[in-house]
Amino acid sequence: MAKGRPREFDVDEALDKAIDLFWRQGYEGTSLADLVSAMGITKPSLYAAFGNKEELFKKAVDRYAEQRWALVDAIFDAPSSRQAIERFLMLFTGAEQPEGAPCGCLMVQGALVCSPEGKSVKQDLLSRRMSNLKWLCDRLEHWKAAGDLPRDTDIQGLGRFVATIANGLTIQSTSGAKPDQLKAVVEQFMQSWPGRQTAETASAIRAA
The CATH architecture assigned to 8-63 reads Orthogonal Bundle (1.10)
- Domain 76-207: which CATH number of 2.40.50.140, 3.40.140.10, 3.20.20.70, 1.10.357.10: 1.10.357.10
Nearest C-alpha neighbor of 24 from the set 33, 34, 9: 34
- Using one digit for the tens of pLDDT, what is the confidence trace for 44-97? 999 999 999 999 999 999 999 988 888 898 999 888 999 999 999 998 888 777
- Using one digit for the tens of pLDDT, what is the confidence trace for 119-153? 888 888 889 999 999 999 999 999 999 999 999 99
Contact 17, 39 (CB under 8 A): yes
| Domain span(s) for CATH 1.10.10.60 in the chain | 8-63
Kindly tell me if the per-residue pLDDT of 99 is higher than 50.
yes
Contact 153, 195 (CB under 8 A): no
| Domain span(s) for CATH 1.10.357.10 in the chain | 76-207
- Of the pLDDT bands very low, low, confident and very high (cuts 50, 70, 90), residue 1 is very low
Q: How many CB atoms lie within 10 A of CB 77?
A: 9
pTM for this predicted structure: 0.81
